[in-house]
Structures are given as structure tokens and as C-alpha cells.
Structure 1
Amino acid sequence: MPRIDARWGSGAGRFGRDRHGVEFSGGGADGEAGRAYERAVDALLFFRGDVADHVEAMRRAAPRAPMAHVFAAYLGLLGTEETRARAAGEEFARFRADVDHSAFAPRERAHLQTASVWLAGDTARAGELLREVNVTWPRDTLALAVGHQIDFFTGDGDALRDRVAGALTAWDEQDPHYGPLLGMFGFGLEESGQYGRAEQVAREAVARNARDVWATHAVVHTLEMQSRFAEGIAYLDARTGDWGGRNMMAVHNWWHYALYALEAGEPGRAVEIYDAVVHTPQSQGLALELLDAAALLWRLHLDGADDAIGPRWGPLADAWAARADGPHYAFNDTHAVMAYLGAGRLSEAEALIADRTAWAGRPHPGVTNHAMTVRVGIPVCRALLAFAQERYGRTVDLLMPVRNALRGYGGSHAQRDAVQRTLVEAAVRAGRTETARTLLSERLALRPSSPYNWLGRARLAEQLGEAATAAAYRARAEALAAPGRTALADAAPPTPR
């Protein structure tokens, strides 16, 4: 039998159970509270914006139910935003100080410990604790969904795959939540490099529920990583009504659409998507959306499409500045720096880097973001600054030692590729021809159908005076981009949100 941590205790009192058989105390599984919890879990799995409303309904119906407060704490953390996490922590601490923990079920104690650890900054340990929860309670959907997101935030591709894989055989395949589990598993397979199996599993999840936007996202990732961008455009276009509307993944999936447009050599379409969906006057300044906006404009900048970007950097930098975030998540910091640099506000980028450097110089035991910031965040931020200052050799020197460690500060392969492309571009501009050749050779070995990679080789050949070779590479890139352009020509424009 799986071992239950003694700190969680055995519990006492009467426990209700949800439809998956996991225990609740404090009336958490009864009546309206139980129904609100089920609605909240369902909303979380399908990234619907009403998830917080359902959690609050559960807290009103069963104010002493620990899982209602645990769920609220998780929501405060999932946005990777310092202010929301701090507010959630204060609220959670008040609940914990005011209740008798001996009345809670063992699973609830495990979640209480996990939320406390995560709120204290130990994201990695929180992920480990939730893994232990799902060994004992593999049908705890909340633990699976939240743990999966922690694996994403920490860039742990194997855990993204294995956490869900380890629970699947405990589930009835006809359960309505089995499909979202497949979507999570598919994304984990993709992030661990198993693209064929990932696509198969993620497509099955979408077939089970067309509005499973995380599963759609998993399919999109598999196509992105194989440079099958024309297929990706057609896939998203055929399902826009299912994924492109009001859900918490819409901006990110539109961002992926924009990446396909860039690969097809259509920066204008990428900017059109940016204006309609990614960052608009109605955007709420959420960190997860701002980093997509920064990453898209930065790629356009690397591609030399500054004319297409126009005045967009300024409002985006303003949005980042309005957040006034402290050191909470290094992945966000690097994207804030991109926005400041793109807007020409180098002093703000330098101030952020100085703040994080000072913070990182002090001990923060048990804070996952400390290691992320020291090992990856600060070097990447400094490299971006050097790039903006046209110190391209310095950019190469800063990024080469960390390029294979980038997953250690979170995100996906597709997201982290903005940094990898910065390294390639810096090597080309610095005249580091052998380094650039090596980097492009690596990329072509993995993604031989990428026009971006062939264009990089063409530019390098031009530097070396190999005009005929450069022309052949450019022709190859054009031929590869053509199907994507055709797909975009047939596609409807994005619907403004």
C-alpha cells in the first residue's frame, strides 16, 4: 500500500466523498458545496474563467471545508503573480489559524501542506507533495491538474508526462475527466520529445471534447516542434469556435497561431493577431498574457520586422511597469526585460536586473525561484540587455553556458525558443561564424522543415561570401514557407476580443 505521510495524520470525524471517491470534511462534499467543487474542477480543467466563482461558492456553502480554501490558494498561485500569491497566502493563513486540523481527512491535510509550502515559495517541493498525493489518491483531479501546472512552471518535461501517466490506469476511460487527463498527458509527451505519441494522445483528447483547450494546445505544440506550421494553421482554423473565444488559454493559443504565421514568413498576420487578441486596450495586464505579448514582439524584432512592430512596445512596457512585480518568477522577469528593451527603456531593464541581482545575492532557502533566478533568469536578462546594446559577442558569452539549462526556469520548448533564437541571432551578428554554424546545424538536425533555420544558414553563407549557397538556402526556406502562406490566405482573420 502507498505510504501516507505521518504529518497528514489519519483524520477524525465524518467524511463525505466526491464522485471520484476522495474524502472531504467540513461538508465539502455535501449539497451545494460539493456541486460547486465539481464545477470548479471542471472549469479548471477546461480553463474557463468562472473557476474562481465556483470556488467562492463552495467557500460560502461550506466555510469550514479545507478544500475550498486550498483551491482558492492554488488559484492565487497559478497566475505566477506576486500580488495575487501574497493575498492568497494571507487569506489561507487566516483559515489555517482558525480551524481544528484534527478533523480533516488525510488527503486534505496533504493539500493543506502543499498549499502552505507553495505559498512559502517552494514550488518544486509543492510539486513533489502533489505527486505523493496522486500515488495514494490517483483520482484526485485537483492534485493532478495543479501538479501538472507546477511541472510546467518548473520546466520539468518528464514530470509533465509521468505525473499523469502514473494515474491513468486508476481511471475509468468513460469518465468525463479522462479526456482532459489525456490532454495533459499529451502535452507532457510533447515536452519530453515524444511527438508522435503526443499528437495521437492529444488528438484523442480533443475528439472527446472539442472545447478541451489544453488538449488543443498540446496538439499545437506537437505541430510547432516539427515545423508543421501549415497543418497547425489549418488545425486551428477548423476549430476556432472551440478554442479561440472566452477562455484562459485563448491568448496563448492565438500566440501559437502567430508563431505559425512567423514561420510562414507573414509578420503582418502575426501583428494582426497581436492587435486583435494578444495585447489589446481591453487586456487586463495578466502576467501570463503579457509574457506571450513580449515573446511575440521579441521574435518579430529578432526577425528584423521592427517596422511591423511600430509603436506596440511602449504600451506593453507600460503594462509590465504597472505590475510593479518583485522577484516571484524568473520566467516573467525575462519577458518584462524584453518589453522594456523593445521600448528603448534600458534604464528600467537595468533596474529590474539590479533588483533581482541584489535579491539573488541574499539566501532564500526553500524558494524555488531563487535558484531559477540565479542559474537562468539573471544570465538571460543580462544577455537580452547586451543584445539591445548591440554587444552581440557578450550576448553569446552569456547565453552559451545556460542554453541547455533554460528549462530550469520554466515554460515550454516553444516559449524558451525566443531565447535560443536570440543566441543564434547574436552569434550571426557578432561574426561568430563557427558558433552560428553549430547552432543552426543543431536546429536543422531537429527541425529540417523550418524556414527560419534555413534563412539563418543563408545569412551565414552571405557573411562568408557564398552567394550561390545563400541563394539556394533562401529558395529552400521559401519553398518550405509557401504551404503556410497558402493556409493563411485561406484563413479567416482573428476575431477581436
Structure 2
Amino acid sequence: MSGLGGGDGGEEAAAWYESAVDSLLFFRGDVAESVGAMRRVAPGAPLGQAFAAYLGLLGTERTQAVAAGEEFARFRAEADHTAFTERERAHLRAASVWLGGDIERAGAMLREINVGWPRDTLALAVGHQIDFFTGNADSLRDRIAGALTAWDEEDPHYGPLLGMFGFGLEESGDYARAEQVAMSAVERQPRDVWGIHAVVHAFEMQGRFADGIRYLDARRRDWGANNMMAVHNWWHYALYALEAGDTDRVLEIYDATLDPASSSGLALELLDAAALLWRFYVDAETAEDAQQLVGERWGALADAWAARDNGPHYAFNDTHAVMAYLGAGRMREAEELVADRTEWAARPHPGVSNHTMTAEVGLPVCRALIAFARGRYPETVELLLPLRGRLQTFGGSHAQRDAVQRTLVEAALRGQRWELARTLLSERLNLRPTSPYNWLGQARLADQLGQAALAATARERAAALAAPGKSALAGAGVAQPRGPVRA
């Protein structure tokens, strides 16, 4: 469903548009090339210009967004908007609002497009990513659910829509249905890497990490390289290996797929690297122990974040940059980033969603991470405890935000907040009773309370739960470099 207007380009432009939409859905690296070709063939087509603006925003990189905004502004100033259809004008308005900083309003505008045009795949796909960036679980689910009955189930893009719907179901807590829907999406399109990602999330949230390892191994040729989700799905594989207690495999995966030396250097990949290494940092008894295990990886990652110098654009990225600086022992850079964002947040920025994200969630989380690194655990608790129920408002998934939740658990343990630690661990154990991490936390708490029998039982339970994951990893192949993902 292209509907290209602007009076030029014709069938060739429509073909490039469909190719670009297909690449967007399947996270192929040639999406930008297809959009560029469409714009060369039909420079006056508004959907081509809106698509280019969306691509400039989807990477959550300020430099890309600024460049896209400048090109988009030139087009809008020169174009005859009376020649465009209402749908085209709606896309131009949504792109303009997002470029202006109001990502939530842009998401709502895209949803309105899908009320009138439920088979507008571009609006569905971009809106779904906006829901992810803003942590809006209900909309992740309902945006796609509201369009599905308008689609022919034989349409080749119906499968990717099911993959999106599956992810929305998972983030909304319906794990069994999410798994079912996402698996059906992948059965339709084996290289639907977002659908695979939805299945992986469903396993993660159910603590079924051995099943996740086997699932990813069975489909590794479909997801493991040559797509823009490869790094993130390898990150999920590493989380499974971490639950199984195989730190050597985790670091092997990191070196082959997440290390910034072999990545694009974009924030979406660097934050996965930081979130993985931060788990080592939090789990280790001392910063020195974490450094000994991770080695020089923190320094290279911190260098990659510093090289971006991207300014205030997306608070979720900022927290992961702070993790990298702290892991590398570069406290000054972490504090400088927080000082810069504090100064920025103190000024009014009407209509800029990231202002609220930064002021209300991003900065308190960053300060809590710094307090944790300084050993000020009561301060970490006081900063994170009021936020734990609304961390989703600065974006990411449950699995990604768990790095912050684990920081709170560890701060409660180290700060001797025993009742709070008991409560947090009880929640985790009852929500994911198959997680070795949760049982090991319970064992540590029991140690501190002098409950030796309970501690021993919890450790035995953790070891028994880790065993299937270790067995699954024993039959897995070696992680390979992720391969090129961008044209």
C-alpha cells in the first residue's frame, strides 16, 4: 500500500517504497538504500520524505535526527501540500512532530493514520517502534491488534504484524499468548527477526532460558547475522547463558557480536553491550572483581560512548552511557554527563518528550548508578525505589530495564535493607521461580540473616535450574561475528 503522490516517479517509485517497507519489517540493512532510491526517482513524493525522516529518528541518535530534520524542513518549505492526499499529509505531520521532539504525540498521530488506513504498514511499523521507545506496553499490543482484522492473512506482511503483536502481548504480560502468536509469525516468515525477538522475550520473562537457547540455536541462520536485530538477539542469547552461569560463553558472545570494535557504534547496539556488562558489575562482590572478569572491555565501550558526544536526545541511552563510564572507572565522565543533562533539564523544552523522560526518570537513575558505584547503597535505594514501578516511561523493554531493577536489589542487599531485599526477591521468585539469579539472591539474603539451611536450599535450587541451560549450551556452536547489517 504505497499511495505515492507528488506527481512523479510512478511505478518505479512505488516499487522502491514497497521494497523499503519490506526491509523495514525484516530489519534488513538495505532499507536506507531503498528509501534513497525512491527519493531520487520521486523527489516530490511525500511518503518518501516522511520515510527518510522516520529512518533518521529510529536510531535514537541526535546527529541523525538533526540531519534528517534539515532535509525534511527543506522539502516541506518547497512542496505544494495541496497536491498531497490526506494520508500523505498525515505522515508529514507525524514526522514533523517527532522531529520536533514530541515522540508520544507522533505515536498517537500514527495510530490515527491506522484508524483510517489500517493497512498502512509504514505507520504501523514506525508507531510500534515509538511505543517501544516510550515503554508503552498497551499501545505496543493494541496498535497492532486494532489493525489486524483489516488484513488478509495471506498477505506476506501479515506475519511480521503478528510478530509485532506478539511482542506487544509479551510486554503487556500475556506471555503464553505472546509465545504462541510470535511463533506463528516465525512459522510464516522464518527470517522475521522481530518475531524471533518476541519469542525470545516471552521465554525470558517466563525464566525459560534453556528453551530460549535451544530455540535460538535451531534458528541461528535466520537471525544470527546480516540484519539489524542480530546484535540485540545475540544479547538475549547472552542473557540466557548468564542465567545458566556460563560466564565464558557470555563473554564469548560479547566479543563476537557486541564489542564496539565490531559494531556500528550506534547507541542501540552500545546500550546492549553496556546492559550486559553492567550485570557483571552488579553481580560481582567488588568493582575489582568485576574488572578482573570483564577486563578491558569496559574501557573500549566507554570510549565508544564518549566518541558519540550526542548530547541530550534519549534518556535511555544516557543511562547506559553512565553504566559504561562507571564500569570503566571513569567517574568524572559519568558525572559530567549527569551535570550536562541536569543543566539541560532545568530549562524549559515544551513539547520535547525526552525532557520529561530525562528529568523524571533518566537523571535519578543515572544518579543512582553513580551512588552504587561509590558504594553509597542507601542513596541508590532511595533514588530507585520510587521509580521501580514507572521505569517503563523512559523506554526499553522489561528485559532491558531489569539491569536497573537488579541494581536496586543489590543495593538493598549491600545496604542491609533486609526487609526490602526480602520483598524484592520474593516478587522476583514468585514471578520467575525458574530463574537461578533470583534463587542465588535469596541465598545471599539468607546468609546475611543467619539462615544457613535456607541459603543451602536456595543454592541447590539455583544449581538445579541452571543445569538444563548448561546442557543446552554444551550442544551449541560457537558465536560467530554478526556480519554486516547496513548497506
Pairing of 1:48-197 with structure 2 (within 5 A): 48-197=28-177
- When residues 173 and 96 of structure 1 are mapped into structure 2, their CA distance, relative to the original with a 3 A threshold, is same
Give the Cα separation in 1 of the matches to 2:122 and 2:7: 18
2:24 is matched with which residue? 44
Find the partner of 2:346 among 345, 361, 370. 361
Aligned length: 477
1:10 is matched with which residue? none
Give the Cα separation in 2 of the matches to 1:397 and 1:428: 14
Find the partner of 1:440 among 407, 420, 425. 425
Find the partner of 1:228 among 208, 227, 246. 208
The answer to whether the 8 A contact 1:271-1:308 is kept is no
1:480 is matched with which residue? 465
Give the Cα separation in 1 of the matches to 2:432 and 2:261: 36
Report the CA distance between 1:310 and its aligned residue. 1.0
> 2:429 corresponds to which letter in structure 1?
L
1:273 is matched with which residue? 253
The answer to whether the 8 A contact 1:444-1:453 is kept is yes
Give the Cα separation in 1 of the matches to 2:344 and 2:388: 23
Give the Cα separation in 2 of the matches to 1:478 and 1:142: 46
Name structure 2 gaps, 5 residues minimum: 483-487
2:368 is matched with which residue? 383
Report the CA distance between 1:374 and its aligned residue. 1.1
* Cα RMSD, aligned residues only: 0.9
Give the Cα separation in 2 of the matches to 1:368 and 1:28: 36
Report the CA distance between 1:23 and its aligned residue. 2.8
**Higher RCO, Cα 8 Å, sep 6+:** 2
- When residues 471 and 316 of structure 1 are mapped into structure 2, their CA distance, relative to the original with a 3 A threshold, is same
Report the CA distance between 1:222 and its aligned residue. 0.1
Report the CA distance between 1:308 and its aligned residue. 2.3
> 1:351 corresponds to which letter in structure 2?
E
Give the Cα separation in 1 of the matches to 2:409 and 2:373: 14
User: 1:31 and 2:8 equivalent?
Assistant: no
Give the secondary structure class of the aligned counterpart of 1:139: coil
1:465 is matched with which residue? 450
Give the Cα separation in 2 of the matches to 1:282 and 1:203: 30
Find the partner of 1:398 among 378, 383, 401. 383
Residue by residue, what CA displacement relative to the aligned partner does 1:427-461 show, whole Å, maximum 9, x if unpaired? 00111111100000011111111110000000000
User: 1:327 and 2:291 equivalent?
Assistant: no
1:219 is matched with which residue? 199
The answer to whether the 8 A contact 1:268-1:308 is kept is no
Report the CA distance between 1:381 and its aligned residue. 0.1
User: 1:417 and 2:402 equivalent?
Assistant: yes
Residue by residue, what CA displacement relative to the aligned partner does 1:270-304 show, whole Å, maximum 9, x if unpaired? 11000000114232211100000000000111121
The answer to whether the 8 A contact 2:260-2:301 is kept is no
Report the CA distance between 1:31 and its aligned residue. 1.8
Give the secondary structure class of the aligned counterpart of 1:394: helix
1:239 is matched with which residue? 219
Give the Cα separation in 2 of the matches to 1:393 and 1:448: 27
The answer to whether the 8 A contact 2:114-2:124 is kept is yes
The answer to whether the 8 A contact 1:28-1:34 is kept is no
Report the CA distance between 1:27 and its aligned residue. 4.3
1:372 is matched with which residue? 357
Q: Which runs of structure 1 show a deviation greater than 4 angstroms over 4 or more consecutive aligned residues?
A: none
Give the Cα separation in 2 of the matches to 1:489 and 1:117: 50
1:253 is matched with which residue? 233
Residue by residue, what CA displacement relative to the aligned partner does 1:349-398 show, whole Å, maximum 9, x if unpaired? 00000111111111111100011011110000000000000101110010
The answer to whether the 8 A contact 1:313-1:342 is kept is yes
2:485 is matched with which residue? none
Find the partner of 1:344 among 323, 326, 329. 329
The answer to whether the 8 A contact 1:152-1:410 is kept is yes
TM-score, normalised via structure 1 length: 0.95
Residue by residue, what CA displacement relative to the aligned partner does 1:323-358 show, whole Å, maximum 9, x if unpaired? 001110000000000000000000000000011111
Matched residues, percent identical? Answer: 72
Give the Cα separation in 1 of the matches to 2:3 and 2:39: 17
Give the Cα separation in 1 of the matches to 2:111 and 2:21: 18
> 1:318 corresponds to which letter in structure 2?
D
> 2:370 corresponds to which letter in structure 1?
L
Find the partner of 2:242 among 218, 239, 262. 262
Name structure 1 gaps, 5 residues minimum: 1-19
Give the Cα separation in 1 of the matches to 2:205 and 2:411: 22
